[in-house]
Structure 1
Amino acid sequence: MTTPPSPHAPVRLIRGTALTCAVAVCLLLSGCSGTGGSGSGTDTAGAAGGARLKIALVTHASEGDAFWVLVKKGAEAAAAKDNVALTYANDPDAAGQAELVRDAIRDKVDGIALTLAKPDAMRAPIAQAKASDIPVVGLNSGIDSWQSEGVMEFFGQDESVAGRAVGENLDALKAKHALCVIHERGNVALEARCAGVKKTFTGETDMLYVDGTDMNAVSAGVKDRLKQDPSIDEVVMLGADFALAAVKSVKAAGSTAKVATFDLNQDLVKAVQSGAVQFAVDQQPYLQGYLAVDSLWLYKTNGNISGGGAAPVLTGPAFVTKTNVGAVAKFAANGTR
């Protein structure tokens, strides 16, 4: 049986903030729609009047990752509403992502939204964008470094807070030995999640690093670790697709361990409904993409800065369990959660 998250005040505060933000965006989104899919060079137009802005979204996404399809879909919905010409590019390699940002600067875009999974690699291109009078906002990764890197605004969840909330929830579920699986070494957001789990979970927490670009390797790594240590009773994954792979790994290993995860998609919703996954921590990727693009349009057209440039705009964490997954399922089916 799935148990709802521990009702501690910090978690309620963050969830409330995310909910307030989500309600506001739902009002903005009325009557708008976006198209999904991966790849680069997306160009979206809408009905808003005025001169057409060029905005680039540059992420550290790997090809085929369903999470980033949701981010991109949200960005496209905002671009359609705002009559923005949106380009999307991604590279999981930090140096490659930095070069994509420089490409956007050379293209003389009006604004850049980027992720800060590896902040040091983004420092020089961000400075170059600012020198070219191009505003830059951050999303998804880098909540602890966006201000020091010179980014104007940030949209995402506090991964450390989310991780600590997961650790508390594992205690509530009576888990004793957790395996936290990091699928990209050096990604500050992923590292913060597992560190947060370890900080509050009173049981034993082990870390496992796997190659997230090879799902077979992820599955094999989790299976082998579970065979090596039968005392592991909880597997914490850091992405929806990886959690679904871990469910198979648990079965292949003959383990009785439970699976919990960060992030959400349509298939993961079904896994929560069936009980195959205990719970998911939703940071609302669609919302992150939407707010990042819309914030640049608001800044360029009206001088608005969300949070006054002093605080991030939080999009999570929100816990999805078997008891509340029904309220999320219809949005996941639409490709917006």
Structure 2
Amino acid sequence: MNSVYQFIKENHMLAVIELAQNRKAFTLNLSRFEIKEIPDLVTTCNTLMKLYLDHNEIIKLPDNIINLTRLHTLTLDYNCLKEFPLVVCELTGLKYLNLSCNEINTLPPQIGHLTSLQVFWCNNTNLQHIPEEIGNCELIETFGARGNEIKKLPESIGLLKKLSWLTLENNQIDSLPEAFVALNKLAHLNLKRNQLKEIPKQISELKKLQYCFLNCNQINNVDIDSLDKYNLIKLIDLEDNPIDATVKDLALLKCKNISFENKDSNQTSTTQNDDSDDEDVSDWENSIDTSDIDTNEETGDEHDPEDISMFIPALAKYITTFN
């Protein structure tokens, strides 16, 4: 029965790829096909903009994946990668990349070649550090590297001027670099379960910051006199830190937006958009699995304005101008 099942599954996958090739599709979804290698046929689908390969058993990417020059979305989370696939760094048009839940413990300097990157997830990969070259990816808006072994952030993180969402929960960070103050658009910061011993002073300089999660650290004191600097932040979560009860009481009197209790533990936001006025919008990606971060689309020939633009020159010869 297993061999029959495997035969049917492999042939179904090939049919899906061939259909995408024949239709010149923009999206190809090969999630959960239990594949260990990416079929060569995939790399001939040169119209692809979105390629979903998550939840498989892939151990290596083929070199000819660079043929997919239009690719801007690539998901490789929940695979069996043992190192960062360097060939990905040649896909310089990538805007969305998810490498979470692989055994990748380093990001190469070549990550800086992905200058179009806007969303980057590398959660639960045993990542030990983030290279300085990440500063070349100046368009990043969302960056997630939780569940790793990161101890320090590079000074170059301050070059990510568009960064609005940063989650570094469950690492070993004990301080923030001075350049962190340059993150003028950062609205959401998750440093839960790290090794901070005080509220980082850089946080008070972040004018757009709305949600700051510092719970489950080693913060044992709060400078009451400096709390006025944090009044524009909607929520500073300090739950499960070894802070004296008297200090907590004084802090709550001074700054109403500080929380020592997990008020949002039962709330799950389904969107990353912080544009609403809902005071209870919280750490959406912290309350769902990494896999649910992706919005996997079925293979099809969806023609949004961005996608169809590639065919406008080819269609031009059919346009007739009437006077």
Common fold: TM-score over 0.5: no
**Greater fraction of residues in helix:** 1
Greater Rg by CA: 2
Could you tell me the TM-score, scaled by structure 2's length?
0.29
**Greater fraction of residues in strand:** 1
Instruction: Choose between structure 1 and 2 for higher RCO, CA contacts under 8 A separated by at least 6 residues.
Output: 1
